[in-house]
Amino acid sequence: MKSVIRILLAFSLVMLAACKTKDPVIVTVGDSKLHQSEVYTYAPDWDSWGDRERILFLQRWIDEELVYQQAVKAGALKDSVLIRMIERTKRKIVADYFMQSYLDTMIVSDVEKIDFYHKNQDLYLNGKTTVSGAIMSFADWKSAVQYYKEFKNTKFESIPPNHRLVKRMREFDGVDETPDPCMIPSIRRAVVGRITPMKVCDGAAKIAVVTNKLDSADARPLDEVIDDVSMHAWVEHQNTVVKRLKDEWKTGIPIITKMNVLSEKEK
Q: How confident is the model at residue 139 (pLDDT cuts 50, 70, 90)?
A: very high
What's the pLDDT tens digit per position in 164-178? 999 999 999 989 899
DSSP string, 71-93: HHHTTGGG-HHHHHHHHHHHHHH
Interacting residues of 81 by C-beta distance below 8 A, sequence separation 6+: none
DSSP state, 168?
Answer: E
CB 140 within 8 A of CB 205: yes
What's the pLDDT tens digit per position in 53-65? 999 999 999 999 9
Smallest Cα–Cα separation from 200: which of 182, 176, 218?
Answer: 182
Whole-number Å distance between alpha carbons of 226 and 255: 42
For the cut 70, the answer to whether the pLDDT of residue 94 exceeds it is yes
Q: How confident is the model at residue 123 (pLDDT cuts 50, 70, 90)?
A: confident
CB 136 within 8 A of CB 206: yes
Q: How confident is the model at residue 216 (pLDDT cuts 50, 70, 90)?
A: confident
- What is the crossing angle of helices 222-252 and 80-103, to 10°? 130
CB 205 within 8 A of CB 144: yes
What's the pLDDT tens digit per position in 184-210? 999 888 999 999 999 999 999 999 999
CB 212 within 8 A of CB 134: no
Whole-number Å distance between alpha carbons of 53 and 39: 13
Whole-number Å distance between alpha carbons of 186 and 193: 15
| pTM, rounded to two decimals | 0.49
Q: How confident is the model at residue 6 (pLDDT cuts 50, 70, 90)?
A: low
- What average pLDDT does range 90-117 have in this prediction? 90
Whole-number Å distance between alpha carbons of 22 and 63: 26
